[in-house]
């Protein structure tokens, strides 16, 4: 079904005067800056300013949301939500946050449940102010990509059948080039990318694209990119899968017999699995059926049990990453938060305030997309990209919440060890507020691996204070504290 492409925001007569005053004020304060940019983009930026978001606490920073058309020649529009840093926005770096899936929303998860300033924490109308929001240390940009995720859309239904890692990176890069035209004052800021889960693909791939394109970029297309950070990230199929089995066995989730059966029957290196391997994998998935694989020690959402289907493999059994468990992400201390989030973003008044769903999509807003049915390219490993960018001098950190069974700390350690990097500072505890927050090891070339003690797949949900310390040290390039004081 083709949607009508429209960027026009309807402004009621009662709010038009206020809107006009805002536009005039911005032009008077930032006139010199705006004269260096396209006047239309300045108007678009102001029309994206979020005012009157239902349930929002009062804050002193501005935030913006809306659509950026990817390219003039196609019919794609990606949705973003941007928060200025709290205090000193003009001096602080810019961080792009990406969730994974493939097909899950960075706004429904990252912004609304994890690290944004406004969190959906209950089934009521009010948002909760996040005292550990990452916009305390950075300007914070959330992007829903690719098209078909969240509010991002295309007018050409064929685009939904061409999706994969490559298209996602290309479209996200094009989005950034155009977004910086709308927000030119941020173009000179240090720029970083962060993300979790399948963003272990998205983030390094986009980082490599920016790095390569920057070599021949014009002034308009250059991005001041400095590095990236990924958490509980899918980065190497063989070691990711091997680590899942080790973690489940070492945490008493699967039996000795099942553990030995999987190791005997499954060849994760080749990816070609036998009938006996598939049977063993089904037993592995069944072992997790009554707990949350993404946070093994927290409760499950009981209201979801009635509609929860039995674990089953998708068409291709070569990788756990193609299993529908990707669409059963955790929701933090209240395991039903995802339900609250979807309800909130489906509200017409919320969508109007965020300038979202302007084409009136034919499907409801979901945290993970129901319209993306085919993923065309997903390399077995992004380790070569990571190694390339570390060698290029970019700052690269990988972190792991240690109660996640889906991309567990064992997987990440196996994957990092296969990089073969020289060690700079050995394994040690790191501290936050005089308590052990996790463990960390620094490698040569600016690469760091850190664990977050007691955190599941979505680290900022389970350990918000520690995660804010983590991003703060990453952005400053400082080592994590190695003592209580």
Question: Which residues form the catalytic set?
Answer: 197, 404, 457
Across 84-107, b (16+ Cβ under 10 Å) vs e yields bbbeebeebbbbbbbbbbbbbbbb
d(CA 190, CA 475): 9
| Residue whose structure tokens are 């958490």 | 231
CB 230 within 8 A of CB 195: yes
From residue 239, give the alpha-carbon distance in Å to each of 80, 193, 244, 267, 420.
Answer: 33, 24, 8, 11, 14
Measured CA angle at 472 (ends 469, 476), to 5 deg = 140
Percent helix, strand and coil across the chain, each to the nearest 5? 40, 15, 45
What is the token pair recorded at 144? 């829903």
Cβ distance 461 to 219 under 8 Å?
Answer: no
- CA–CA distance, 176 with 64 (Å, rounded to integer): 15
- Mode of pairing for the β-strands spanning 139-144 and 153-154: unpaired
Residue 333: strand pairing partners: none
């Amino acid at each position: 079904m083709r949607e009508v492409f429209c960027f026009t925001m309807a402004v009621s007569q009662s709010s038009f005067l206020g809107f006009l005053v805002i536009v005039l004020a911005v032009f008077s304060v930032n006139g010199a800056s705006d004269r260096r940019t396209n006047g239309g983009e300045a108007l678009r930026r102001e029309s994206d300013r979020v005012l009157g978001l239902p349930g929002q606490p009062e804050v002193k920073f501005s935030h913006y949301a809306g659509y950026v058309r990817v390219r003039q020649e196609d019919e794609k529009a990606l949705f973003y939500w941007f928060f200025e840093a709290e205090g000193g926005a003009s001096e602080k770096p810019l961080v792009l946050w990406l969730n994974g899936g493939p097909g899950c929303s960075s706004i429904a998860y990252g912004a609304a449940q994890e690290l944004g300033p406004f969190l959906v924490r209950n089934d009521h109308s009010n948002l909760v102010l996040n005292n550990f929001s990452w916009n305390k240390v950075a300007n914070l940009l959330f992007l829903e990509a690719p098209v078909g995720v969240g509010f991002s859309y295309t007018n050409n239904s064929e685009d939904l059948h061409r999706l994969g890692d490559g298209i996602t990176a290309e479209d996200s890069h094009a989005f950034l080039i155009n977004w910086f035209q709308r927000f030119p004052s941020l173009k000179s800021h240090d720029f970083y990318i962060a993300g979790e889960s399948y963003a272990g693909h998205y983030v390094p791939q986009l980082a490599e694209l920016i790095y390569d394109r920057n070599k021949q970029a014009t002034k308009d297309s250059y991005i001041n990119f400095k590095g990236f950070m990924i958490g509980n990230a899918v980065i190497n199929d063989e070691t990711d899968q091997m680590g899942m089995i080790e973690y489940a066995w070492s945490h008493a989730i699967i039996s000795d017999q099942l553990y030995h059966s999987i190791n005997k029957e499954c060849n994760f290196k080749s990816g070609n699995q036998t009938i006996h391997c598939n049977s063993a994998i089904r037993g592995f998935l069944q072992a997790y059926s009554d707990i949350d694989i993404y946070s093994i020690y927290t409760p499950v959402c009981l209201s979801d049990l009635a509609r929860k289907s039995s674990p089953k493999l998708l068409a291709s059994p070569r990788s756990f990453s193609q299993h529908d468990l990707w669409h059963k992400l955790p929701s933090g201390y209240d395991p039903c938060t995802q339900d609250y989030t979807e309800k909130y973003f489906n509200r017409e008044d919320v969508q109007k305030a965020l300038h979202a769903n302007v084409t009136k999509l034919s499907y409801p807003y979901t945290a993970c997309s129901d319209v993306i049915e085919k993923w065309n390219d997903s390399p077995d490993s992004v380790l070569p990209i990571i190694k390339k960018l570390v060698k290029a001098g970019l700052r690269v950190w990988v972190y792991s919440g240690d109660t996640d069974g889906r991309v567990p700390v064992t997987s990440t350690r196996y994957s990092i060890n296969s990089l073969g990097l020289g060690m700079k500072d050995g394994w040690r505890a790191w501290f936050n507020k005089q308590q052990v927050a996790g463990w960390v090891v620094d490698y040569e070339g600016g690469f760091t691996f850190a664990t977050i003690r007691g955190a599941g797949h979505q680290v900022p949900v389970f350990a918000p204070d520690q995660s804010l310390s983590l991003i703060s040290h990453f952005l400053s390039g400082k080592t994590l504290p190695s003592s209580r004081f």
